[in-house]
């Protein structure tokens, strides 16, 4: 059983190791922190921590480094996350408030989170399965080519260029646009494919062949809004922390390319009372990320569904700062999307 002082020793070992990447010894703890006890007592505390497998000695060093289990105890004891600075909060607001649409705000969010944490930032795109179609626009690019634009109630915009088997005029285009919005306007994305499947049959036979490729393109646009996918930024940060992966960084690189793997990991991470989930080292072995940690939080999509955003990096990371950044960005994103 580790004493409270021993847990405090673990805390400073984690903090110092994260800051310096150097193993932490009892002498440096006594010199840097006011525990009011001798170096011998701190060594006894460290011996107890090592016995509990919370710290370990790398190679022949006299210092100690946290283990995955030690990081877990440290994270679980972070009852209060330190708030972001006023400058960081202002940066979030200034960067995200200038977004022009949903795609832009999500792309900006993942870049911002990477900059705040210096880790790989991940953002689950909202599936929009409960979203509805606000409007469909059809633009004539040439006599035999159209641009279809699908806009959801949350501001998501999907576009496709459609090549037609024949030429059309503005009169046909007006009729097509009107019919599409009468049939699909206000419909849930989940209901749109069935309606699109019968759309061509509502036109005269001579026009049905022209409507079919438009219906197919809109079907692809609908499905693009319903599929889970992940936006990513800051992969270059992994290269800068390659020394923190004692085995090889390549399994991590392989894993982050598999979006299905990351989505499954996100789905299995349970948020705590702070709205944060943290999965550390060997806890991620099933996902090929046994030398990495993943932090995530939830944000509300325009349709009210909960999606995830977070960061991935080495187990030697600034958990307190990164958890605060992930939570703050998730909360601001939810508020921003809720106002849209």
Report if residue 269 sits inside a domain.
yes
The pLDDT score that the predictor gives to residue 304 is 66
Which residue segment(s) compose the domain that 114 sits in? 86-127+228-339
At 41, list the tokens: 């007592």
The pLDDT score that the predictor gives to residue 182 is 93
- Which of 226, 242, 275 is the endpoint of a domain? 226
Report if residue 22 sits inside a domain.
yes
Which residues lie below 8 Å from residue 273, measured CB to CB, with a gap of 6+?
A: none
- Which of 226, 259, 293 is the endpoint of a domain? 226
Give yes or no: residues 30 and 103 share one domain: no
Contact present, 120 and 256 (Cβ < 8 Å): yes
Give yes or no: residues 208 and 324 share one domain: no
The pLDDT score that the predictor gives to residue 255 is 82
Give yes or no: residues 36 and 114 share one domain: no
Give the pLDDT confidence of 72-131 residue by residue, as tens digits: 999 998 867 777 888 888 888 888 888 878 888 899 999 999 999 999 999 998 766 667
Q: What is the mean pLDDT of the chain?
A: 89
The pLDDT score that the predictor gives to residue 142 is 93
Residue labelled with tokens 């399994």: 251
- Which of 174, 206, 226 is the endpoint of a domain? 226
Give yes or no: residues 204 and 296 share one domain: no
The pLDDT score that the predictor gives to residue 61 is 66
Please give the tally of structural domains in the chain.
3
- CATH code where residue 211 lies: 3.30.390.60
The pLDDT score that the predictor gives to residue 225 is 60
Contact present, 227 and 126 (Cβ < 8 Å): no
The pLDDT score that the predictor gives to residue 226 is 57
At 309, list the tokens: 């955003």
Alpha-helical regions (H) of 98-137? 102-117
- CATH code where residue 256 lies: 3.30.450.40
The pLDDT score that the predictor gives to residue 229 is 80
What DSSP string runs through 223-273? HHHHS--EEEE-THHHHHTGGG-SS-SHHHHHHHH-HHHHHHHHHHPPP-T
Give the pLDDT confidence of 166-186 residue by residue, as tens digits: 999 999 999 999 999 999 999
Positions of the chain with pLDDT lower than 50, given as ranges: none
């Amino acid at each position: 059983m580790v004493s409270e002082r021993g847990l405090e020793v673990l805390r400073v070992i984690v903090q110092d190791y994260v800051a310096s990447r150097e193993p932490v010894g009892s002498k440096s703890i006594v010199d840097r922190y006011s525990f009011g006890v001798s170096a011998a007592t701190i060594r006894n505390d460290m011996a107890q921590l090592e016995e509990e497998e919370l710290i370990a000695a790398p190679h022949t060093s006299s210092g100690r480094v946290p283990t995955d289990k030690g990081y877990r105890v440290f994270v679980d004891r972070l009852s209060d996350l330190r708030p972001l600075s006023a400058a960081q909060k202002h940066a979030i607001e200034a960067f995200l408030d200038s977004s022009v649409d949903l795609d832009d705000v999500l792309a900006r969010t993942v870049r911002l989170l990477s900059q705040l944490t210096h880790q790989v930032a991940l953002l689950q795109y909202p599936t929009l399965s409960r979203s509805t179609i606000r409007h469909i626009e059809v633009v004539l690019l040439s006599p035999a080519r159209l641009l279809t634009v699908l806009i959801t109630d949350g501001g998501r915009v999907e576009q496709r260029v459609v090549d037609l088997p024949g030429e059309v005029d503005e009169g046909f285009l007006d009729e097509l646009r009107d019919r599409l919005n009468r049939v699909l306007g206000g419909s849930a994305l989940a209901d749109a494919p069935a309606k699109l499947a019968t759309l061509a049959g509502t036109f005269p036979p001579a026009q049905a062949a022209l409507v079919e490729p438009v219906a197919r393109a809109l079907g692809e646009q609908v499905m693009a809004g319903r599929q889970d996918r992940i936006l990513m930024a800051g992969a270059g940060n992994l290269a800068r922390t390659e020394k923190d992966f004692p085995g090889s960084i390549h399994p991590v690189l392989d894993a982050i390319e598999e979006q299905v793997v990351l989505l499954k990991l996100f789905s299995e991470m349970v948020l705590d009372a702070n709205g944060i989930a943290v999965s550390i080292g060997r806890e991620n072995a099933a996902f090929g990320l046994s030398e990495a940690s993943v932090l995530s939080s939830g944000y509300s999509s325009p349709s009210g569904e909960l999606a995830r955003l977070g960061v991935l990096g080495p187990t030697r990371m600034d958990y307190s700062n990164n958890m605060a950044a992930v939570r703050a960005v998730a909360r601001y994103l939810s508020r921003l999307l809720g106002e849209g």
